[in-house]
């Protein structure tokens, strides 16, 4: 049976709910699924099972923990928005899913898709009563049948921290980039009227500003690369010229003051087509990592050459050998031997090279030759 809520007007999803008898039957039906409680209680994300009226008939322990609910059964019969206190869930007699705001709610859209037999992934952004706490959620809705009765498994992941970090990074990096542009302009202006004795200082200032700008742009582009939004700009590149250009820039790093960057005499100039900016970023990270891995007074050697298979290879060598446990994790994001907050250098090299430049990254690290990182690229992007 269905309650009279079916007759209540709605601005989006139906207001119909199961009556008490039907609801109790559905709760009992789902609870009899073998090992369902143990399976879903072992999951860190919130997971609920929803009937065809969008009412909760099962909830895992994560729901209790996330919203400090003493007994998960107290939300049975409620809709998700009502269970977590969405501000719009009480604005209509029909409840969660029935207001005009609900037409834009990713959670309701995902649930309706699941009830139609289709898996759906959406984002949901809402404010909770009474304090207006903001939640950013990723929701996944999956069709689920028990005894020929349709249900939906609805999983919820809190991505509030992820979203706040994205906004913070974009805002911070944008503002910082604008300030560096102002500094670059001031350095150019002062440099035009500087005395000979001041010229070297002004030039060092320009290099420092440019290096900082490159670091910021690199971080912005890494974020874009991870999100699949990075745009490539293929152009003709001379391998040896680019390697000299990058090496010249990285000789100004503080860590390079007690170390030497040399270009291998055997290096060959290869003309090929790629995104010069991203390749320069890859080579820069390779050089920086090699310098930081080296000891004071040691040499970092870099080179480039055709490899005979319609490809060009770049390599950077330092004298040190990586411990085995480091070699096993070297390309993992956030892994670093340099402390907390590091660990995107080699990860970024692999991401940019293999996902975007259609190349391959490899390394060897043995006592006889130290550590060599190699990037191999096609002569043209397809």
CATH of the domain at 119: 3.30.450.20
Q: Are residues 68 and 195 in the same domain?
A: no
Average pLDDT by stretches of 10, the chain with 382 residues: 61 94 96 95 96 97 93 96 94 94 95 96 91 88 95 94 72 73 80 79 80 78 82 96 94 88 96 95 93 94 92 97 90 65 71 94 95 96 86
Among the candidates 129, 158, 187, a domain finishes at 158
Q: Are residues 218 and 246 in the same domain?
A: no
Separation of alpha carbons 152 and 56, rounded Å: 10
Separation of alpha carbons 100 and 12, rounded Å: 6
Q: Are residues 274 and 357 in the same domain?
A: yes
Q: Are residues 344 and 273 in the same domain?
A: yes
Q: Are residues 52 and 88 in the same domain?
A: yes
Q: Are residues 132 and 252 in the same domain?
A: no
Number of domains observed in the structure of the chain = 3
Q: Are residues 31 and 137 in the same domain?
A: yes
Separation of alpha carbons 168 and 173, rounded Å: 8
Q: Are residues 329 and 266 in the same domain?
A: yes
Q: Is the peptide bond before 219 cis (omega within 30 degrees of 0)?
A: no
Q: Are residues 220 and 293 in the same domain?
A: no
Separation of alpha carbons 68 and 303, rounded Å: 59
Q: Give the domain extent around 54.
A: 4-158
Separation of alpha carbons 114 and 50, rounded Å: 10
pLDDT, tens digit (0-9, with 9 covering 90-100), for 323-362 = 998 898 888 876 666 654 444 578 889 999 999 999 999 9
Q: Are residues 44 and 141 in the same domain?
A: yes
pLDDT at residue 341 in the model: 41
Separation of alpha carbons 106 and 238, rounded Å: 49
CATH code of the domain containing 364: 3.30.565.10
Length of the chain as a residue count? 382
Q: Are residues 30 and 153 in the same domain?
A: yes
Q: Are residues 44 and 114 in the same domain?
A: yes
Q: Say how many Å lie between the first and final Cα of the chain, rounded.
A: 60
pLDDT, tens digit (0-9, with 9 covering 90-100), for 295-324 = 999 999 999 999 888 899 999 999 999 999
Among the candidates 174, 207, 226, a domain finishes at 226
Please provide residue 263's backbone torsions phi and psi, each rounded to the nearest 5 degrees: -95, 125
Among the candidates 139, 158, 177, a domain finishes at 158
């Amino acid at each position: 049976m269905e309650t009279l809520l079916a007759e209540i007007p709605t601005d989006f999803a139906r207001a119909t709910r199961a009556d008490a008898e039907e609801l109790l039957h559905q709760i009992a039906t789902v609870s009899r699924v073998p090992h369902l409680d143990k399976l879903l209680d072992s999951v860190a994300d919130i997971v609920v099972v929803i009937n065809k009226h969008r009412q909760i008939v099962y909830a895992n322990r994560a729901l209790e923990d996330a919203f400090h609910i003493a007994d998960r059964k107290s939300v049975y019969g409620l809709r998700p928005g009502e269970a977590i206190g969405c501000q719009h869930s009480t604005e209509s007699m029909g409840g969660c899913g029935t207001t005009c705001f609900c037409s834009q709610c990713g959670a309701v859209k995902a649930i309706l898709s699941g009830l139609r037999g289709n898996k759906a992934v959406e984002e949901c952004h809402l404010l909770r009563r009474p304090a207006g706490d903001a939640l950013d959620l990723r929701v996944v809705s999956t069709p689920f049948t028990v005894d020929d009765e349709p249900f939906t498994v609805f999983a919820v992941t809190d991505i509030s921290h992820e979203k706040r970090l994205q906004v913070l990074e974009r805002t911070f990096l944008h503002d910082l980039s604008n300030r560096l542009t102002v500094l670059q302009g001031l350095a150019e202006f002062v440099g035009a009227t500087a005395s000979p004795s001041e010229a070297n200082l002004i030039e060092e200032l320009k290099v420092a500003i440019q290096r900082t700008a490159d670091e910021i742009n690199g971080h912005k582009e890494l974020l874009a690369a991870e999100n699949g939004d990075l745009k490539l700009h293929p152009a003709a590149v001379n391998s040896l010229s680019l390697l000299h250009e990058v090496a010249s820039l990285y000789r100004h790093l503080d860590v390079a003051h007690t170390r030497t960057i040399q270009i291998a005499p055997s290096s060959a100039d290869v003309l090929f087509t790629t995104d010069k900016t991203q390749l320069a970023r890859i080579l820069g990270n390779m050089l920086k990592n090699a310098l930081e891995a080296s000891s004071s007074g040691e040499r970092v050697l870099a080179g480039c050459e055709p490899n005979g298979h319609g490809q060009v290879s770049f390599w950077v060598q330092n004298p040190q050998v990586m411990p085995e446990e480091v070699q096993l994790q070297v390309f993992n994001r956030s892994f670093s031997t340099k402390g907390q907050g590091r660990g995107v250098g080699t990860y970024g090299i692999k991401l940019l090279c293999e996902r975007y430049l259609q190349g391959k990254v490899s390394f060897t690290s043995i006592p006889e030759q130290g550590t060599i990182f190699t990037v191999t690229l096609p002569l043209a992007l397809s």
